Amino acid sequence: MSTQSNSDKSTKVGLGFGGVTASIGDHIAHFYRTGEQKFDVLGPYIAEGIRSGDRCLLHCSEEDGKQLCAWLTSSGVDADGVISSRQLIIVHGESTGDAQMNLAADIEAESLNAGYEFVRSSGDWGWAQSEGTSVHEMLRWEALLDKAASDKAKIIALCQFDLTQFGANDLLDALRTHPLCIMGQLLVPNPFHESPDILLKDLSKRD
């Protein structure tokens, strides 16, 4: 990840819905039950980034990538064009938390070298399921990402979770890794957030 200090919390970045803004370094959770609820947040989030000139990154399944491109096209965004120019990068992710962090770090470094201020990142745990990644490794990735985001990473990370696909304990662990949550069209502090080092230690005991 970037070696620069991630200290500019005063710069507000629009998330594309409800006038909601976030700061570089924010790590945000969004829980949903339907595809409509999912794309009501994801679609505007990515479209706002494209229109603002941000580098956008989506970790997702192949089907979700297709659905996002269709959503963007219907909203007047040239999805093929922004993918061709690499303003929007869609990846299916890696099978371990460490490999996923290396992928994210490589994309961040490339983005900063290309002149982007930060990476507007997003992902859904569904992509990891489709790749056969364990919940354990998904939680490890979230904790590592949370640690990087709070330190030096030049990212805003939106992580989406389908409430119908995961158990209560897994979702509670996911809450532990996100300082902020989207509730309706509000961005609110998450009272269940913990230091990522605590969750990483817990996960090491489960190995």
Q: For residue 2, what pLDDT is reported?
A: 40
pTM score, two decimals?
A: 0.90
Q: What is the pLDDT of residues 121-153, one digit of tens each?
A: 999 887 766 667 788 888 888 898 898 887 778
Q: Which domains does the chain have, with CATH numbers?
A: 12-206 (3.40.50.300)
Q: For residue 6, what pLDDT is reported?
A: 45
Q: What is the pLDDT of residues 23-77, one digit of tens each?
A: 999 999 999 999 999 999 999 999 999 999 999 999 988 889 999 999 999 999 9
Q: What is the pLDDT of residues 70-129, one digit of tens each?
A: 999 999 999 999 999 999 999 987 777 788 888 888 999 999 999 999 999 999 887 766
Q: What is the pLDDT of residues 163-198, one digit of tens each?
A: 998 889 889 989 999 999 999 889 999 999 999 999
Is 33 in contact with 162 (CB distance < 8 Å)? yes
Q: For residue 118, what pLDDT is reported?
A: 96
